[in-house]
Amino acid sequence: MEIIVIGGGAAGFFGAIHAAQAPHTHVTLLEAGRQPLTKVRVSGGGRCNVTHHCFEPSQLVQNYPRGGKALRGAFSRFQALDVVHWFSAEGVKLKTEADGRMFPITDDSETIVEALMFAAKKAGVHLRNNVLVQKIEKLGKSDEESKFELLLKGGETLVCDRLLLATGSSPSGYAIARSLGHNLEPPVPSLFTFNIKDPQLHQLAGVSVNPANVKLLGVSPTKKNSSRNQLEQSGAMLVTHWGLSGPAVLKLSAWAARQLHDCQYQAPLAVNWIPALKAEAVKQILLTAKTEQPKKFVSNYCPVEISLRLWEYLLTKANVELEKRWADLSNKEMQQILNALTASEYAIAGKGVFKEEFVTCGGICLQDVNFQTMESKICRGLYFAGEILDIDGVTGGFNFQNAWTTAWIAAQGINQTV
Ligand SMILES: Cc1cc2nc3c(=O)[nH]c(=O)nc-3n(C[C@H](O)[C@H](O)[C@H](O)COP(=O)(O)OP(=O)(O)OC[C@H]3O[C@@H](n4cnc5c(N)ncnc54)[C@H](O)[C@@H]3O)c2cc1C
């Protein structure tokens, strides 16, 4: 049986390697670029965050702003622990960092590239680079078992019995899927930083706070993917020369990717710089400071656990004179400090590009895919895997996990029909 996999990324390789395990199959992997696995190479800052140390499917799915529900069953069949075992069997040991991210012990994405290349070769996958698939035609009715004809750039045609489309977020992959009758959730960016026009904030560049809480204001949850508490995220946050970054901000950008796109990345944001304490407790701490340290300058004595630099900035944001003594603060000023600490407002004015990891929200509608096999419900013999689907995760290795899992299931689905 002739199987063609389009897209030499994580999903395409994993799918091709596993599809080639069945007897009497011949798998060809077509990659448009000069070399495959480009994203794996650059991923995780060159270290490749392969997956996440989360081996409970019901918890794993909570890291997917889109697709978590559909992945629940898929993860019960092939999850992060299976990935760890697979790489281990291929001679690649993974290690876990304090935040749960898993990397090869070499800290080098090339280790993952080499393992995938070697496994593909061992399985007999025929890899062809520099091959852009332009068009696909189903020979026969789309709901019948029949062959596919692929038109390549340059005019060559190929015919196959089963097709796995793993073209990531490439427009040509989306166009092929649409031409075969599939619906597409419009692709928009996910995992980005926030630009904030506040020169005083920019002066704090490099300051990180852990945890901070960030909350989008004036944005309604969509019925599909966000509840109100998903528009509020906690975690480490980093001040940059342009605005705000770090895991809390990236998570929020992912959960609200579509809403932020719809408002052209212009929305109010509230930051709680000390979310570990309830507002009432912070109020008490400020009152205690006032009674116990009345003579101290407010800028010299910070009663909460933040850096003095950040404290000074927040006093300025609260419109409180730095030379004031604690005893001289009015009730209004005390309230302003409380607000600055627990609910500072900012205007998001555009998105930054986070170079470590970004992903696309949107893609093939999940209703068009049978998650038992990853086969299209619209076009028999066609399978999907990876980022081309309307699935995306937050940072931490979840996007590769989606690629490994859906590709593995697609390969099993294909092999069942062999
Ligand atoms: C800078 C960066 C860092 C990242 N780091 C991480 C990380 O550490 N951990 C993590 O989990 N996720 C990370 N991600 C996200 C992750 O890389 C993607 O989710 C994942 O690579 C998707 O895999 P895929 O195989 O579905 O698609 P891709 O990796 O995009 O592969 C698709 C392939 O298909 C090829 N192709 C497209 N169209 C055609 C066509 N018509 N004909 C032939 N070939 C075609 C493309 O050239 C490409 O090679 C990162 C993303 C970026 C951009």
CB-based pocket (< 6 A), ligand 1: 6-12, 30-33, 36, 38-39, 42-44, 48-49, 131-133, 166-168, 170, 172-173, 355-359, 386-387, 397-400, 403
Task: Output the CA 155–ligand 1 centroid distance in Å.
Answer: 26
Rounded Cα–Cα distance for residues 17 and 123 (Å): 6
The superfamily CATH assigns to domain 2-189+360-416 is: FAD/NAD(P)-binding domain (3.50.50.60)
The pLDDT of residue 52 is 98
Number of Cβ within 10 Å of residue 146's Cβ equals: 14
Beta bridge partners of 369: 376
Task: Output the CA 218–ligand 1 centroid distance in Å.
Answer: 33
Number of Cβ within 10 Å of residue 338's Cβ equals: 18
Using alpha carbons only, give the angle 399, 364, 26 rounded to the nearest 5 degrees: 80
The pLDDT of residue 310 is 97
Every domain of the chain with CATH number 3.50.50.60 lies at 2-189+360-416
Helices (H), 20-166: 38-46, 57-60, 68-77, 80-89, 109-123
Q: Which residues of 68-88 are buried (b: 16+ CB within 10 A; e: fewer)?
A: bebbeebbeebbbbbbbebbe
Task: Output the CA 217–ligand 1 centroid distance in Å.
Answer: 32
DSSP state of 263: T
Residue 375 φ/ψ, nearest 5 degrees: -80, 145
Rounded Cα–Cα distance for residues 301 and 297 (Å): 7
Half-sphere exposure in the Cβ direction for 107 (13 Å, CA):
1
The pLDDT of residue 336 is 98
Q: Tokens at residue 317, please?
A: 């944001």
Residue matched to tokens 């061992």: 122
The pLDDT of residue 311 is 98
Task: Output the CA 65–ligand 1 centroid distance in Å.
Answer: 18
pLDDT tens sequence for the chain (418 residues): 999 999 999 999 999 999 999 999 999 999 999 999 999 999 999 999 999 999 999 999 999 999 999 999 999 999 999 999 999 999 999 999 999 999 999 999 999 999 999 999 999 999 999 999 999 999 987 777 789 999 999 999 999 999 999 999 999 999 999 999 999 999 999 999 999 999 999 999 999 999 999 999 977 777 655 565 689 999 999 999 999 999 999 999 999 999 999 999 999 999 999 999 999 999 999 999 999 999 999 999 999 999 999 999 999 999 999 999 999 999 999 999 999 999 999 999 999 876 666 899 999 999 999 999 999 999 999 999 999 999 999 999 999 999 999 999 999 999 999 8
Task: Output the CA 66–ligand 1 centroid distance in Å.
Answer: 17
Cβ atoms 73, 371 nearer than 8 A: yes
From 354, 356, 357, 409, the mutation candidate for ligand 1 (largest count of ligand atoms within 8 A of CB) is 357
Using alpha carbons only, give the angle 201, 257, 38 rounded to the nearest 5 degrees: 95
H or E element, residue 152: strand 148-152
Rounded Cα–Cα distance for residues 400 and 403 (Å): 5
Residue matched to tokens 């013999």: 381
- Strand 359-364 to 344-351 pairing: unpaired
Cβ atoms 180, 133 nearer than 8 A: no
Contacts with 245 (C-beta within 8 Å, 6 or more apart), sequence order: 193, 194, 237, 238, 239, 352, 354
pTM: 0.94
Contacts with 324 (C-beta within 8 Å, 6 or more apart), sequence order: 297, 298, 333
